[in-house]
Amino acid sequence: MTGSCPSAPTWRTTCAATPSTRTWSSTADRGAGACPAGTRLPSVRALAGDLGIAPNTVVRAYRELEAAGVVRTARGKGTVVADAPPAPDDAAVGAAVERAVALARAAGWDAARLRRAVDDAQRVRSDR
């Protein structure tokens, strides 16, 4: 699905585009569909002008988003929202859990505290 992102005032609320990767990705998960994969982002010059910020700030934001895999840029074609990355396999999730448990043990956490942390993390994720 391709499209065009909205103008800057709408962009702020729809796609939450700000010069911050964290703000964009945390407030506009690709899964939310605010800006689906293939959606073209405004040009650097247009977005900078609409937001009243320096073009270099937009360039930096786009680079951060690209490094995070949120967008992809092709010279002469612009910047578009990237496809969602493939889901990690069971082995990758298992390895991440093992690293988290080892870190918690090293910090002196007991099993009950670790379970609370996992429950809290799941609750926070489901609230998004």
Q: What is the DSSP letter of 6?
A: P
As a whole number of angstroms, the distance between CA 27 and CA 34 comes to: 10
Instruction: Indicate whether 94 pLDDT > 90.
Output: yes
Q: Which of 67, 81, 61, 102 is nearest to 6 (CA)?
A: 81
pLDDT at 30: 45
pLDDT tens for each residue of 46-84 = 999 999 999 999 999 999 999 988 899 988 889 999 988
Report the predicted TM-score, pTM, of the whole model to 2 decimal places.
0.51
pLDDT at 124: 77
- Identify the burial level of 108 via C-beta atoms within 10 angstroms of its C-beta, where 0-12 means exposed, 13-18 middle and 19 or more buried: exposed
pLDDT at 10: 46
Radius of gyration of the chain (CA): 18
Q: Which of 14, 28, 18 is nearest to 50 (CA)?
A: 18
Determine which helix (DSSP H) or strand (DSSP E) holds 78, and give its type and residue range.
Answer: strand 78-81
Flag the least confident range among 51-60, 93-102, 117-126: 117-126
Q: Which residue type sits at 82?
A: A
pLDDT tens for each residue of 4-36 = 555 444 444 445 444 433 344 433 444 455 688
Average pLDDT over all residues of the chain: 79
As a whole number of angstroms, the distance between CA 106 and CA 118 comes to: 17
